[in-house]
């Protein structure tokens, strides 16, 4: 699914803002996630204790360039992450707007080209814009990570029609909904729409009970994927009786 790796879980989990290392570890286990992210700039890699914790989780690490506002910053941060964590995987974030944290499309493509040429396997945080997606794929990205809504907003899938169009436009590219998911029902919706995975952080980390919430998201993502694979019924304008009239006994 992702650069030759096919994880069993379609839930990817962020590691920031948890109330304690113990809660983080328990939440990772409850989520059943096999891929977790860490921000090198915002967390300073968390120190040796944090690195030991994520290593003990057994998960594959996806470092990210959160907090970067230029292609140069993002490339430098990615190179530091590769040296520190020993992986070519990088979640590429280049922020262009301070309030919405919307990515800068021009700097994002520039950084993606540089990193892909340097042997990185890039997971770009992007919008649902089709042209931007095409440019990222042309740059060498084999995965796209469109936002559901602004990071940390909990608004869910704000532009469902655009996301459905993106899914149809890139049938052979793994698409991961990244950012804005606030409830398990929203994650299930993304999976029902045919997205390949969901990446979230705040909805679990800031929950009253992060461990239970992580478990809820694990179930929701699995249920949504199963529903997509089974095939959802279409919507109708009128009611249709579930029990046919033909063949029923006539009582008199």
Q: How far is CA 219 from CA 10, 57, 99, in A?
A: 11, 19, 32
Q: Is 127 annotated as a binding residue?
A: no
- Cα–Cα distance between 28 and 14 in angstroms, integer? 9
Q: Is 16 left (phi over 0), alpha (psi -120 to 50) or beta?
A: beta
* Catalytic residue status for 91: yes
Q: Write down the residue that tokens 């459905």 correspond to.
A: 164
247: left (phi over 0), alpha (psi -120 to 50) or beta: left
202 is in an annotated binding site: yes
Residue 201 annotated as binding site: yes
List the strands of the sheet with 176-178, edge to edge.
Answer: 145-146, 121-126, 89-92, 60-64, 35-39, 11-14, 197-200, 176-178
Any binding-site annotation on 152?
A: yes
Out of 55, 91, 135, 189, the active site residue is: 91
| 180 known member of a binding site | yes
Annotated binding site: 152, 179-180, 201-202
- Residues annotated as catalytic (active site), given as ranges: 91
Q: Residues within the annotated binding site for 1-deoxy-D-xylulose 5-phosphate?
A: 152, 179-180, 201-202
């Amino acid at each position: 699914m992702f650069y030759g790796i096919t994880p069993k879980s379609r839930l990817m989990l962020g590691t920031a803002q948890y109330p304690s290392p113990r809660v983080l570890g328990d939440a990772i286990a409850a989520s059943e996630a096999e891929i977790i992210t860490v921000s090198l700039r915002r967390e300073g890699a968390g120190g040796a204790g944090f690195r030991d914790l994520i290593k003990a989780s057994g998960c594959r690490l996806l470092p990210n360039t959160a907090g970067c506002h230029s292609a140069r910053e993002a490339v430098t941060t990615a190179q530091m992450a590769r040296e520190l964590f020993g992986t070519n995987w990088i979640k590429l974030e280049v922020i262009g707007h301070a309030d919405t944290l919307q990515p800068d499309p021009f700097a994002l493509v520039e950084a993606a080209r540089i990193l892909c040429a340097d042997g990185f396997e890039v997971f770009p945080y992007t919008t649902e814009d089709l042209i931007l997606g095409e440019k990222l794929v042309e740059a060498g990205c084999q995965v796209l990570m469109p936002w559901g809504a602004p990071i940390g907003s909990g608004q869910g899938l704000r532009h469902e029609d655009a996301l459905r169009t993106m899914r149809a436009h890139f049938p052979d590219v793994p698409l991961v909904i990244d950012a804005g998911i606030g409830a398990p029902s929203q994650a299930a919706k993304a999976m029902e729409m045919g997205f390949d995975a969901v990446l979230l952080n705040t909805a679990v980390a800031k929950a009253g009970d992060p461990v239970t919430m992580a478990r809820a998201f694990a179930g929701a993502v699995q249920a949504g994927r199963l529903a997509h694979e089974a095939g959802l019924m279409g919507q109708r304008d009128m009611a249709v009786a579930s029990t046919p009239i033909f063949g029923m006994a006539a009582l008199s």
